[in-house]
Chain A
Amino acid sequence: MNEIFPGVKEEYSRYVDVPSTSPIDSPGTRHRWHILDNLTELNERGIVPRGTLLCIHGNPTWSFLWRSLLTHVADHGLPWRVVAVDQLDMGYSARTATFRRLADRVIDLGDLTTALEISGPVTTVGHDWGGIISLGWALAHQEQLANLVLTNTAVHPAGFDLPAALRLASNPAVHGWGTKTTDAFLRVTHSLARPALKPEIRQAFMAPYTAADRRTGVANFVADIPFAPDHPSRPALDGISEGIRSLDAPALLLWGPKDPVFSDRYLRDLLSRLPQAEVHRFEGAGHLVQEDRDIATPVFEWLTAGNSTSRKAKNAARATGGEYRPMLAQLDARTEDPSVAVVDIHPPRSLSWAELGRQVNALATGLQQIGVTAGTRVNLLVPPGIELTSLIYACLRLGAVIVVADAGLGTKGMGRAIRGAGPDYLIGIDRALAGAKLFGWPGIRIAVTDLSMAKRKMLGVRYTVNELLDLGVNAKAGSDGFTSVDPDTDAAVLFTSGSTGPAKGVVYTHRQLAAMRDTLHQTYGLQAGSALVAGFAPFALLGPALGATSVTPNMDVTAPRTLTASALAEAAEAVKATAIFASPAALANVLATQSELSPGQRDSLEAVSLMLSAGAPIPEPLLAKVQALVPNARVHTPYGMTEALPVTDITLDGIQRAGSGNGVCVGTAVCGAQVAIAPLDPQGCPANEPCTSVHATGEILVRAPHVKDRYDRLWFTEEQSTSVPGWHRTGDVGHFDDAGCLWVEGRLGHVLHTAKGPVTPVAAEHAAESVAGAGRAALVGVGPKGTQAAVIVMESVPAVKKAGPASAAVSQAVRSAVSAIGVDVAAVLLVPALPTDIRHNSKIDRTALAAWATKAVSGGRIGNP
């Protein structure tokens, strides 16, 4: 098969003579178009297309941009015709010696599809300024329109500044020079690819534009950007950008967020016009998202199956669960209750149920006054405590969607998360507002504390929380004044820890949040009268919903290790705590500092009846020491993830009974949840069927009323996570034992693909950790999948100063310990410390570690991981 350009078969390339109906041309004018078209290939294979993808490039690219769609159809024998056009004056289409504006180009495209006699359903696919032209065609051909696919584009500059890069390109001083006389505009565009384009691809993009007279179209395209209200193309633009509000065709938006031109703000604008759209943001990808990522797989998966099951249908199926009680039911039932609801230790403060109810309502009213309504996204950058609790419940009351990106993601991860979720409002403490200003995080800024005018101006703060309260109190709306919230609309966007790639936004509906509360109530007996110390954020927020009194201990929530024993006891004392929630890292520090406890403090810990270690697996010896600190408590540790909190639960007794085995025993499903396994095949791929047979290792699946609604603006990730119908694929691997308990063996992405088949890491790590002098260990695979070598990377006691191979004796000891469970270890590397995630300080970043180990055992210098 001959290729005219890399990845483009010669037979796809064809020329079409098209009569023009554009008023810019004199009657009878014909233009020669170049297109890539797979119709001949489909005919040869006897495939009848289900529809046509009409793909429109932007400036300054050409149909070459869409080659992956053509290749994907050919490789998989799919029934789709793909027509990728070179617009007139662009690519290898005719140079018309006219200045074709937006309206002309929409007509031109219609002329082409008429000449091609494209009949049957059409999916328009657009990029850059090709996006708006494709939408123009869609509006003019609604009877044929089946779907809309858009990639990094914009339909309206209203209210926004023109992107700086384009403002420069269209500046009369540089416009002709940058776009026509030289190939600067092309080169800059090509340089936006992440990672950089290979030379042959760059050459192919450049090929139709090598001489200045071939670049007239490029220059005219830039000059036709209607950023000024009186621009000749502005009416056409307004017509399209308003017109698409009436389109109800399914839409898929595929976005590269690292785009200096079409940034997330244009994505949000498009979403407001096409609310039915599904979105997938490829974190890390840029303007040329087609080059940066595989867009063909999601496009055709979406066309084939994805948009057949709407979100509404999914919700309807789930809503059949138990009775729904709103998250605010307890607050509303206790408006006269003078007993304590929430307590902060530092600075000391507390509110009764009646006071908390009033505060929530006043805040809700204040937020309403400034424009927050159902569906509005409100980003809360506020540490746990009364302030955060009040804001959360105020948002829930309005049906506004809380976006909670905690500092545990790190500044960079938090910025990515916030930009991804695209909140309309940002409520934060000073430090968060400074970050918002510095990094340009989206959202109208609201300060938690009162600020001086100067600081307020500097941080771009529009309101303060106290102003909202004043607004709310003056508006004197009671809880009766709020309309009830649809339980199946979005309530919250939480974020995964990002230990397995960029943090993902996870969307919960009100019904799902309520189900999470009900699960905690049923599994742990938390209810009105309980008093809990909230050292672990996600559950802590549920205190007022459970009707339990909650207290936030004095600690830096971004660093769980800062929770000391006396701070924990002080908090327990303050509310006569019956329950404590904390992360393993926090508990480790509590144990390390327990000598500072006074007898009185010990007494208040002895009064605790439930201890919950949550957020990461906790080693049994550590948990046993915790039990000694809270002798009268049932010690539990739940297993779960941001997408499903919690999934299973086990007690300290249960852990001790389970003993050691292949992985970590996490017990049985919590109330309302079901767990199953998708067994791994010899290549390490999970099956598409749930299975509950004993000892089969596979991906852990969970089904529960409190499982996430979906990933936020990650349509393809969501599709993959629900590919076993009715279940959430956790990405963890594990198995059931004879007693029906679930054992977690690690992450699916961390499974080693050795010549003997898939190997899960946890059992081997425990074996390595059993060797004298061993610290924590991680098992990683190096080399190509299918023949990977197993490498143990571990800490030692005492720790080594520099990373390097273990001595022959230590290697031999570790190797024989690990071989006892059937894993051949090629190398043992000692490191000063294993890299862990910021949020929990306990999840080992095996992906990064595998990359480091691969380098270390390939020869050359070894740095620390």
Chain B
Amino acid sequence: MSTGQVRTVRKRILVTGASGMLGGAVAQVLRVQGHHVRTFQRRPSAGATDEILGSLTDTAAVERAVDSMDAVVHLAAKVSFTGRWKEFVDTNIVGTRTLLEASKTAGVTDFVNVSSPSVAHFGSSLAGAAAGEADPERARGNYARSKAVAELEALAEDSGNFRVASMRPHVVWGPGDTQLVERVIQRAKSGRLPLLDHGAALIDTIYIDNAAAAIARSLERMADARGKAVVITNAEPRPVGELIAGICRAGGAPIPRLHVPGWMARGAGSVIERAWLAAGSRNLVQDEPPMTRFLAEQLSTAHWFDQRDTQKILDWKPTVSIDEGLRKLAAHYGGIGPRIAM
């Protein structure tokens, strides 16, 4: 990990959602930095020494988790392109509320809420966009809507000795990522991955190591970061088609050749999404649908961000470039990484 210096102040830090790729990486960075890390999630996480298993919907478990902690990094969430609103409310809104209350009661001083840029953006293309304020009314999809409510509530708790900041990593990827990388590779292998509108739309992403380092860094920068929502990316916008091609090559999958107009995919996404939801409610399918309106928007419109404030607030810069990240991905999957830049 990049920020591997040992800090003089050893803190007791709770990381929720550590069984996920990003949560696990954040916990690992903090451990390397010399902090005592406790993890809290439903399933066991790797490398844990102090672990409490439980759900955010279980108040007693949450209270046990925050007991004697100095800081909380909150990553646990229901992350899905689809799903019923109530499930998102329970985990993402009420769960965050429970964790915030318990943290304050337990004397936690620093609370980092991990959120998503989608809480403040509404389907149009974004070019060099600022973070913007979360807006549950206009956020697209149940996930973004519920995270928007949670972020507003979390930031509203920032006062006095209880410092709250919200980190919004945009499209985290890396080895072991099931959300984007594995899906792209699998669909490309089965020939089910179209490129929307030639894949020219610029997308900001963040390599897993950078995202974990930035979130860990935010704990050291709470004096500047408190009360703020901060979008974190690699600050290397790339055409979405090129990224997908890079991931496919790294994963040993063929590069998608099928081009579909974005408007068609968005429309189809809506239809598939509704059908999938209906099927899911009768337990007919378990997986995520192959295309949703949200995903189609993500893949066919520009999403890249102004990182000047972020890098100032966190006094941080990404250390793994996208090309290096793709090479690491290739090493993981045994595919081909980008050739070394001259």
Contacts and interface: CB of A to CB of B under 8 A. Distances in A.
Interface stretch (B24-32, B47-55, B303-311): B303-311
A859 B302 CA distance: 6
A819 B339 CA distance: 14
Interface in A762-800: 782-784, 786-789
A535 to B, nearest CB: 41
A389 to B, nearest CB: 51
Nearest to B308: A755
Nearest to A785: B128
B200 A755 contact: no
Given A755-B307, A784-B128, A820-B342, A808 B245 contact: yes
Interface string B272-315: 00000000000000000000000000001110101110000000
Tell me if B's interface is mostly helix, strand, loop or mixed: mixed
B261 interface: yes
A3 B15 CA distance: 50
B262 interface: yes
Contacts of B201: 857-860
A784 B306 CA distance: 9
A854 B127 CA distance: 9
Given A820-B342, A826-B236, A783 B198 contact: no
A755 B317 CA distance: 13
Interface string A676-696: 000000000000000000000
B128 A856 contact: no
Contacts of B246: 808
A820 B245 CA distance: 23
Contacts of A861: 197, 261
Interface stretch (A247-255, A539-547, A810-818): A810-818
Given A783-B304, A812-B339, A815-B341, A862 B128 contact: no
A858 B198 contact: no
Interface size class of A (residues with CB under 8 A): 20 to 34
A820 B340 CA distance: 12
A858 B202 contact: yes
Contact of A755 (B198, B235, B239, B245): B235
Contacts of B176: none
Contacts of A783: 127-128, 304
Contacts of A787: 128, 306-308
B267 interface: no
Given A808-B242, A816-B341, A857 B200 contact: yes
Contacts of A817: 342
Given A805-B198, A827-B239, A858 B339 contact: no
A787 B342 CA distance: 25
A827 B202 contact: yes
A815 B242 CA distance: 12
B185 to A, nearest CB: 15
Interface string B240-258: 0110011001000001000
A838 to B, nearest CB: 28
Contacts of A755: 235, 306-308
A827 B204 CA distance: 12
Given A815-B341, A826-B238, A859-B302, A805 B199 contact: yes
A859 B249 contact: no
A788 B302 CA distance: 13
Contacts of B236: 824, 826
A865 to B, nearest CB: 13
A829 interface: yes
A807 to B, nearest CB: 8
A423 interface: no
Contact of B301 (A805, A816, A829, A858): A858
B300 A860 contact: yes
B337 to A, nearest CB: 11
Contact of B200 (A808, A812, A856): A856
A804 interface: yes
Contacts of A815: 341
Q: Which of B196, B201, B302, B342 counts the most chain A CB atoms within 10 A?
A: B302
B121 to A, nearest CB: 13
A757 to B, nearest CB: 11
Given A782-B202, A826-B202, A857 B302 contact: yes
Interface of A: 755, 782-784, 786-789, 804-805, 807-808, 811-812, 815-817, 819-820, 824, 826-827, 829, 854, 856-862
Given A782-B127, A816-B339, A826-B236, 18 more contacts: A755-B235, A755-B308, A783-B127, A789-B202, A789-B304, A808-B241, A808-B249, A808-B255, A812-B338, A812-B339, A827-B238, A827-B242, A857-B201, A859-B200, A859-B300, A860-B197, A860-B301, A862-B198
25 contacts: A755-B307, A783-B127, A784-B127, A784-B306, A786-B128, A786-B306, A787-B306, A805-B200, A805-B241, A807-B245, A808-B245, A808-B255, A811-B242, A816-B342, A817-B342, A826-B238, A827-B202, A827-B242, A829-B200, A856-B200, A857-B239, A858-B127, A858-B202, A859-B302, A860-B201
4 A-B pairs with least C-beta separation? A783-B128, A859-B201, A859-B301, A816-B341
